[in-house]
Structure 1
Amino acid sequence: MSELTTVNSNQVAAQGNDNMASMFMNMAMNPECDVDKLEKLMALYERDEARKSQVAFNRDFAAMQSDITTVSKGSKVDYSTAKGRTTYSFATLEDIVDMVRPVLQKHGFAVSFKVNTLKDVNVQCSLMHKEGHSIETAMTLKEDKSGGKNDVQALGSSISYAKRYTLSSLLNIATRDDDDAQAAMQKDNRVITAGQSKTLEAKFDQLPIERQDKFIEWLKSQQGVESIPEVRVSAFNAVMSALNKVIASLDKDAA
């Protein structure tokens, strides 16, 4: 996606620009024209036009802010690694675009992205106004290979994230989705207390050696940890339940 909406910039003050262009052309063709004065006049005109376009940009940008709404977090990430489990909800780039597209159109703005992947991932987002003024922001990051992504998926994920982040930054869309994601990761990665660890280990010690080995394999595959002290707080009940089930099955076999 390179552009969210299209604005017809050519129609903005077209008549005035044509008149000025004709005037400068006529002056330049006059053999008696003072080139130095003409250049100064053109520079003065360009500065004045730039000032006017910035004023128009600021005016319409301020008006646009009242139409920018909160984007609901409609997508979820959930995966486990040796370091623990990661799970959070977030608003996708498509979610944000669906909200801002009509708002941009209404107020005479357009957005475009420039992507460079020669070294890392660099995404530049530009917000352009129909009067000619524009602002930009950029973000550079590594490929996102979390969750077992292949190279193509990692590249696409990083580009999408950078577009979402830069677009949200330019339009003042709340970025709490990203903060929520980090908070969720930190909360989910907290390990159990020493007391909780001893409780689980007491259950674990009731298992025969071969069952202990199998249970450790279960911890690795299902919880992303290699020992009981590494179990996360959020997984304590699940691990306790799994241990109780194994113990119950042993008691049943013994009977």
Structure 2
Amino acid sequence: MNQVAQIQPQDVAAPVADPMISMIERVVLNPDADLDKLERMLAMKERMEANGARVAFARALSEARAEIPPIVKDATVDFTSNKGRTHYQHETLAGIAKVIDPILARYGLSYRFRTEQGQGGVRVTCIIAHAEGHAEETTLSGAPDSSGSKNSFQAVGSAVTYLQRYTLKAALGLSAEVDDDGQSAAPHTGASRQQHASQQQQQVSPAERASDQMITAIRKNGADAVQASPQFQQDFPRLKKEAPEFAARVEAEIETWNKANKTAPSTLVDDDEIPY
């Protein structure tokens, strides 16, 4: 005997109606409605949606950055010119993307770059966007990188890549550390630990170290408390003058903290402004 399975309908939560949409619908259906008030209500709805998107962006960025580890400096620059030898380590754009892309995607965040060239320079803008529509931009500009034996096209390409890295780092407040070829996974004892720590300190510039300390303090104590401290008021102007790219990271951290923690202004409308 065949048995007929009875499927019981499950309770499905009804979508929550937007009260602003309901008010606008009532105005549209009312032949005596004031069109001026309708336009004001539509503008108010746009402001409310934009404010909600900003809040969602700040929250997503804050949560994503809490998961992003320090970026490893996985490339070395070493060449000699008429100015002498140049030798330093840096993180690559591909290395940064490999770390941050999966984390940003989980929180609905993405980034892209806009590049402009003119008056002998290159201008790069990093655009961080959220799935709900809000986006913020960080812009840096510079001259083509003519170091080494680059031709004119290579000089522009090198400058663009450099500015992409730094605008992305500034927009997200990223910090970097030197790749120790897996040595950090091995135990360090006695003199080897001290030597390892000393090498790490020498390979990180004082400006980068100062910016990392400021960013850590902001995340721990809040931007208001850090900005009010005499030490920050003394150190930050000097950092901004000597290393603006690292100061930009600190400013981005302050802006992100403010957006995530400051109370948004009320968008409520007085009773006499809501047409029924």
With normalisation by structure 2, the TM-score equals 0.54
Question: Take 1:79 and 1:156, find their aligned partners in 2: how far apart are those partners?
Answer: 18
The residue that corresponds to 2:175 in the other structure is 174
Structure having the larger proportion of residues in helix: 1
Q: How does 1:134-145 map to 2 (within 5 A)?
A: 134-145=135-146
The residue that corresponds to 2:115 in the other structure is 115
Does the C-alpha gap of structure 1 residues 16 and 54 become closer, same or farther in structure 2, counting only changes over 3 Å? farther
Indicate if the aligned counterparts of 1:165 and 1:175 stay in contact, CA closer than 8 A. no
The residue that corresponds to 2:106 in the other structure is 106
Q: Could you list the per-position Cα deviations for residues 60-91 of structure 1 after superposition, in whole angstroms to 9, with x for gaps in the alignment?
A: 11111121111211111111112111011111
The residue that corresponds to 1:76 in the other structure is 76
Q: Secondary structure at the match of 1:54?
A: helix
Question: Take 1:64 and 1:39, find their aligned partners in 2: how far apart are those partners?
Answer: 37
Q: How does 1:51-90 map to 2 (within 5 A)?
A: 51-90=51-90
Question: Take 2:89 and 2:16, find their aligned partners in 1: how far apart are those partners?
Answer: 50
Q: Could you list the per-position Cα deviations for residues 220-246 of structure 1 after superposition, in whole angstroms to 9, with x for gaps in the alignment?
A: xxxxxxxxxxxxxxxxxxxxxxxxxxx
List runs of 5+ in structure 2 lacking aligned partners: 1-14, 179-201, 207-276
Q: Percent identity over the alignment?
A: 35
Q: Secondary structure at the match of 1:146?
A: coil
Report deviation, 1:172: 1.0
The residue that corresponds to 1:124 in the other structure is 125
CA RMSD in angstroms, aligned pairs only:
2.9
Q: Could you list the per-position Cα deviations for residues 20-42 of structure 1 after superposition, in whole angstroms to 9, with x for gaps in the alignment?
A: 4x985885686543221011101
Question: Take 2:157 and 2:122, find their aligned partners in 1: how far apart are those partners?
Answer: 10
The residue that corresponds to 2:97 in the other structure is 97
Indicate if the aligned counterparts of 2:75 and 2:89 stay in contact, CA closer than 8 A. yes
List runs of 5+ in structure 1 lacking aligned partners: 1-13, 184-255
Question: Take 2:57 and 2:39, find their aligned partners in 1: how far apart are those partners?
Answer: 27
Indicate if the aligned counterparts of 1:143 and 1:154 stay in contact, CA closer than 8 A. yes
Question: Take 2:154 and 2:25, find their aligned partners in 1: how far apart are those partners?
Answer: 53
Question: Take 2:162 and 2:73, find their aligned partners in 1: how far apart are those partners?
Answer: 14
Indicate if the aligned counterparts of 1:168 and 1:175 stay in contact, CA closer than 8 A. no
44-53 vs 141-150, greater mean Cα deviation:
44-53
Does the C-alpha gap of structure 1 residues 88 and 27 become closer, same or farther in structure 2, counting only changes over 3 Å? same
Indicate if the aligned counterparts of 2:110 and 2:130 stay in contact, CA closer than 8 A. yes
Indicate if the aligned counterparts of 2:70 and 2:175 stay in contact, CA closer than 8 A. yes
Q: How does 1:153-232 map to 2 (within 5 A)?
A: 153-174=154-175
Question: Take 1:78 and 1:111, find their aligned partners in 2: how far apart are those partners?
Answer: 30
The residue that corresponds to 2:260 in the other structure is none
Question: Take 2:144 and 2:76, find their aligned partners in 1: how far apart are those partners?
Answer: 19
Question: Take 1:27 and 1:118, find their aligned partners in 2: how far apart are those partners?
Answer: 51
Does the C-alpha gap of structure 1 residues 91 and 142 become closer, same or farther in structure 2, counting only changes over 3 Å? same
Matched residues, number = 167
With normalisation by structure 1, the TM-score equals 0.58
Which amino acid is 1:50 matched to? A
The higher radius of gyration belongs to 1
Does the C-alpha gap of structure 1 residues 150 and 96 become closer, same or farther in structure 2, counting only changes over 3 Å? same
Question: Take 1:28 and 1:147, find their aligned partners in 2: how far apart are those partners?
Answer: 67
Q: Secondary structure at the match of 1:135?
A: strand
Runs (4+) of structure 1 exceeding 4 A deviation are 14-17, 22-31, 179-183
Report deviation, 1:163: 0.5
Question: Take 1:62 and 1:16, find their aligned partners in 2: how far apart are those partners?
Answer: 29
Report deviation, 1:131: 1.5
